[in-house]
Every structure is written in C-alpha cells, then in structure tokens.
C-alpha cells in the first residue's frame, strides 16, 4: 500500500512562528512513485523533492519489518529526524550520524539553525561536539517526511505543540521516540500519551535513562531504555539506535519509565539544593534513597511496576543527575541552596525540567493521595518561598517510621 503525507505547499516556511495549521490548505502529496515497469523501486516510497537524499521503503507493511530488513542487509541506514536542536537533540543527531544514518536536526529557531551551521557545533548548548555537515540542520519541519524514526527532544512545555505541528506531516504508523522527560502540566499526562493523542495513528516509544547529552555526544558508553507496550516498536527503536557506545534495553513498563524520567528531575533539583546548602554525602544518599522510594510510590499508584524504578530509568537516572554538574536541575538547585531566588536560578541555567516537574508532581501526588515529602518540600521551596534550610528541617522532623512501613509495592 502507498503512504501519503500532506505537506504545506508554501515551500520552506519562515521560522519561528511557522505553524502548518496556519498555512494554506495542506496538499496531499503521494509518496509512491512507480518506475516505468509499474513497480515501486525501494519498497514504494520516496519523499518530497529537495528533501530526500535517498529512497527508503517506508510504507506501513515495510516499516513494520525495518529491523529484519536491516539484518538482511536490505537497508544499511535509516532516515532519522531529530526534533529539537538543544543539547540532547544535537547529541542524538551526532550519534545517529556517526553510525551511518541519514539525519535531520530540526529547530524552530532560525538563529539556532544558523548558529549550528556556521560553527558546525551547537556553541551554546553542546560546545566542543562537532556537528558534521552530513547532518541536515534545518528549520523546516518537513524534514520528517519519509523518516523511519522521529525523535522528539524538545522541552516538556513544547511537546504537545510540536506533536500538533507534525500532524499533517507524519505518515500513518510512523515510529516516534520521545526523548524528553516530564509530565504535562494540568492533565498529568505522560508525553507518549500527549503525542499519541495528537498523532493517534503513530507508534510512540519513550527513550529514557541516564544519558547526559555532553557524554552521549562524545561517545561515552551509555545505557538507556526504549519503552512501549508495543514491544515491536520499542525493539525497532533499539535496533535503529543501539551502537557500540549506546546500549538500549527494551522495557514494556512505559508508565514506570516515563514517571522515572520525570520525577527524578525533582529529586535532582533537591540534591542540588542540598549541595548549595553545603550538606554532606550522608544527606545526599538519604535524599536519593528516599527520593527513589517516593518516586516508586507514586509510580505504583499510577500503574507502574515497582521494579522499573530500580532500573536505568529510575535509579540509574537518579544517580546520574544527582551527582553531576552536567545536570541543569542540580545546577539550578545549587544556586537555590546558595540563596538565589528559584525563578532567577532557573533563568540563569536554562531548561530546568525539575522546576516545572516539582509543581506537576506535587499536584499529582495530592490528587493520587500519595505521600511525597521530598517533592512537597521542593515544591514549597520553588513556589511558596520556603527557605531551603527550613525544608531540610521539616524533612528531618517528620514522624518516626519504620523503613519497611513505607510501601514500595
Ligand atoms: N540535556 C540532556 O543531557 C538530556 C538528556 C536526556 C533527556 N533530556 C531531556 O530532553 C528534553 C530536551 O532537553 P535539552 O537539554 O536538549 O534542552 P535544551 O534547552 O538544551 O534544548 C531545547 C531545544 O528544543 C527546541 N525548542 C525550544 N523551544 C521549543 C518550542 N517551543 N517548540 C519546539 N522546539 C523547541 C530548541 O531547538 C531548543 O534548543 C528535556 O525534556 C530533557 O529533560 C535531556
């Protein structure tokens, strides 16, 4: 069967501010091109002229068999579109390019696209990691046409907006990996849910785990999780992205994996606050351990498996974020602990998902009736003017308990 995509017929749109929904009526452009004999070369699909650098089998039936096709040598590389050209998106694009894929890296900001192209690196968010000219850095969202895999690496506030913009551009059954971490404000939805709502006919996977962009960009051995209830989709992401420096495990507990990634940002912010207050290793160890317990408690209440929180997307990510200066959550926390007002600390550091997540997670815990003392204190420090030292006092002064009394399961 032929796939079709609709593209905005205006040519390359001006960015930022381009929204496919606002453009002239999208025209449906057939992706299939028959050769003279009436057959479909390359499996039946091609992409828009000017955007395709090769022909890929990307219709629905073929797309399902992508991993097998790679194994059988029918396809040595895939077309991957990375959306969001910040630290994480750029690192993933560099890695995919290094391992032979055809990669586009999209940003909604003209200045960001121009800056990466000018310097062949993201000077601001991933300095020192070359972005080779083989990567198509673009402000044109139509780079997703014909992609075998779309990776969303945009901040949490932009996930829904980006997914909606993709609606007229992605093929039916497209494979999408969300690499961002967070929960949607207001609805408490996980981002695979947000994306699936906006793009109902696609296959959405969560990519999460301990993975500093700065290290992935340098090829430092890293392990992450590809999670979906659609095992085949999660395995396809594993097959497409796994390489000698990125080991990917498949996990079907997508609730646990996504909540692990979102909630650990709050604990990392709290860990930074402890460091800013000059607390010791004991404090940090207690915070991480009890933090993991409350993450799992909320996760289990939401339908996740407790074990997932002991894995890469839970404990693994907590370890990497609570101890590293690469973590913007921790860096913002340090500033807060040293006395910088939270809002100012966040402005100074940039994308600090834990700040937003502290509010969302605290409200979600209230809604679910789950006790999350560290998240509560983090919320009070961030949004209610609670002094950081008072937050520690309050945590240390909680009623006596047995460790085993705290429900893990
Ligand atoms: N940086 C890391 O090491 C890392 C690792 C794993 C996961 N993550 C997650 O990935 C997500 C992105 O993080 P990051 O560190 O790359 O952030 P970042 O601030 O470095 O980059 C964000 C990028 O997203 C794009 N963007 C910004 N506003 C947008 C909008 N309104 N619409 C569409 N695109 C927009 C821009 O290209 C921008 O550069 C976050 O959820 C983060 O938690 C980050």
Identify the pLDDT of residue 253: 98
* Domain edge (last residue) among 211, 226, 252: 252
Helix axes 328-337, 342-349, angle to 10 degrees: 140
Domain count, the chain: 2
Identify the pLDDT of residue 351: 87
Q: Which residues line ligand 1 (CB under 6 A)?
A: 84-89, 107-108, 112, 125, 153-156, 158, 161-162, 179-182, 211-213, 350-351, 353
Same domain (yes/no): 264, 242: no
Given the residues 264, 284, 347, 367, select the one marked as catalytic: 264
Instruction: Output the residue whose Cα is nearest ligand 1's atom 22.
Output: 86
Identify the pLDDT of residue 206: 98
Identify the pLDDT of residue 379: 98
Identify the pLDDT of residue 365: 97
Answer yes or no: are the C-beta atoms of 318 and 262 closer than 8 Å.
no
pLDDT band at 329 (very low <50, low <70, confident <90, very high): very high
Identify the pLDDT of residue 296: 96
Same domain (yes/no): 26, 84: yes
φ/ψ (deg, to 5) at 253 = -85, 75
67-119: per-residue pLDDT in tens?
Answer: 444 544 434 589 999 999 999 999 999 999 999 999 999 999 999 999 999 99
Atom of ligand 1 nearest to the CA of 327: 3
Same domain (yes/no): 192, 338: no
Instruction: Output the residue whose Cα is nearest ligand 1's atom 21.
Output: 86
> Using CA atoms, how far apart are residues 234 and 216, in angstroms rounded to an integer?
20
Identify the pLDDT of residue 406: 58
Neighbour-count burial of 91, counting CB atoms closer than 10 A to its CB (0-12 exposed, 13-18 middle, 19+ buried): buried
Atom of ligand 1 nearest to the CA of 182: 41
Average pLDDT, the chain: 84
pTM of the shown model: 0.83
Answer yes or no: are the C-beta atoms of 408 and 297 closer than 8 Å.
yes
Q: Which CATH number is 76's domain given?
A: 3.40.50.720
Beta strands in 239-346 (DSSP E): 246-251
At 304 the three-state DSSP class reads coil
Same domain (yes/no): 313, 248: no
Helices (DSSP H) in 36-156: which residue ranges? 60-64, 66-71, 87-98, 110-119
> Using CA atoms, how far apart are residues 303 and 192, in angstroms rounded to an integer?
15
284-316: per-residue pLDDT in tens?
Answer: 999 999 999 999 999 999 999 999 999 999 999
Nearest to 293 by CA among 270, 263, 269, 255: 263
Length in residues, the chain: 409
Same domain (yes/no): 87, 122: yes
Residue 26 DSSP label: P
Identify the pLDDT of residue 408: 54
178-194: per-residue pLDDT in tens?
Answer: 999 999 999 999 999 99
pLDDT band at 407 (very low <50, low <70, confident <90, very high): low
Query: Residue with structure tokens 């121009």?
Result: 114
The residue-averaged pLDDT of 344-355 equals 95
| Domain encompassing residue 334 | 256-405
- Return the minimum-mean-pLDDT range out of 9-13, 87-91, 364-368: 9-13
Same domain (yes/no): 36, 161: yes
- Maximum Cα–Cα distance for the chain, whole Å? 79
- Report the residue among 158, 351, 352 best suited for mutation to probe ligand 1: largest number of ligand atoms under 8 A from its CB: 351
Other CB atoms within 10 A of residue 349 CB: 20
* Domain edge (last residue) among 223, 252, 281: 252
Same domain (yes/no): 222, 267: no
Q: Which CATH number is 325's domain given?
A: 1.10.1040.10
pLDDT band at 409 (very low <50, low <70, confident <90, very high): very low
> Using CA atoms, how far apart are residues 137 and 114, in angstroms rounded to an integer?
9
Verify whether residue 98 is a known catalytic residue. no
Same domain (yes/no): 246, 265: no
Same domain (yes/no): 160, 31: yes
Is pLDDT above 70 for 44?
no
* Domain edge (last residue) among 226, 252, 278: 252
The residue-averaged pLDDT of 276-283 equals 95
Query: Residue with structure tokens 């994306």?
Result: 195
Identify the pLDDT of residue 403: 85
Answer yes or no: are the C-beta atoms of 215 and 327 closer than 8 Å.
no
């Amino acid at each position: 069967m032929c796939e079709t995509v609709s593209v905005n017929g205006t040519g390359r749109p001006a960015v930022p501010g381009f929204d496919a929904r606002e453009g002239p009526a999208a025209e449906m452009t057939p992706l299939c091109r028959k050769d003279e004999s009436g057959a479909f070369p390359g499996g039946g699909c091609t992409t828009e002229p000017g955007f395709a650098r090769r022909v890929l089998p990307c219709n629905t039936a073929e797309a399902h068999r992508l991993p097998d096709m790679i194994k059988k040598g029918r396809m040595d590389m895939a077309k991957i579109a990375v959306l969001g050209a910040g630290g994480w998106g750029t690192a993933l694009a560099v890695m995919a390019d290094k391992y032979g894929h055809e990669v586009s890296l999209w940003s909604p900001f003209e200045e960001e696209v121009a800056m990466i192209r000018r310097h062949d690196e993201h000077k601001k968010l991933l300095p020192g990691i070359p972005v080779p000219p083989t990567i198509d850095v673009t402000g044109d969202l139509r780079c997703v046409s014909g992609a075998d895999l779309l990776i969303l690496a945009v901040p949490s506030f932009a996930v829904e907006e980006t997914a909606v913009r993709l609606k007229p551009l992605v093929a039916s059954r497209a494979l999408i990996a969300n690499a961002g971490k967070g929960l949607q404000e207001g609805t408490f939805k996980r981002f695979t849910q947000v994306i699936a709502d906006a793009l109902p006919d696609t296959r959405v996977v969560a990519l999460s785990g301990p993975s500093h962009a700065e290290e992935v960009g340098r090829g430092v051995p890293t392990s992450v999780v590809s999670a979906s209830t659609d095992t085949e989709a999660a395995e396809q992401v594993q097959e497409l992205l796994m390489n000698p420096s990125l080991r990917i495990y498949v996990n079907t507990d997508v609730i646990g994996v996504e909540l692990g990634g979102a909630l650990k940002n709050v604990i990392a912010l709290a860990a930074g606050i402890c460091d800013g207050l000059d607390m010791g290793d004991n404090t940090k160890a207690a915070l991480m351990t009890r933090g993991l317990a409350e993450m799992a408690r909320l996760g289990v209440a939401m339908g996740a498996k407790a074990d997932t929180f002991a894995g890469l997307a839970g404990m693994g990510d907590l370890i990497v974020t609570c101890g590293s200066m690469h973590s913007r959550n921790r860096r913002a926390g340090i500033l807060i602990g040293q006395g910088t007002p939270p809002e100012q600390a966040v402005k100074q550091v940039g994308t600090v998902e834990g700040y937003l997540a502290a509010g969302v997670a605290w409200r979600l815990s209230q809604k679910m009736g789950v006790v999350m003392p560290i998240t509560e204190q983090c919320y009070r420090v961030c949004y209610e003017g609670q002094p950081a030292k008072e937050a520690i006092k309050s945590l240390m002064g909680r009623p006596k308990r047995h460790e085993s009394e705290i429900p893990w399961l």
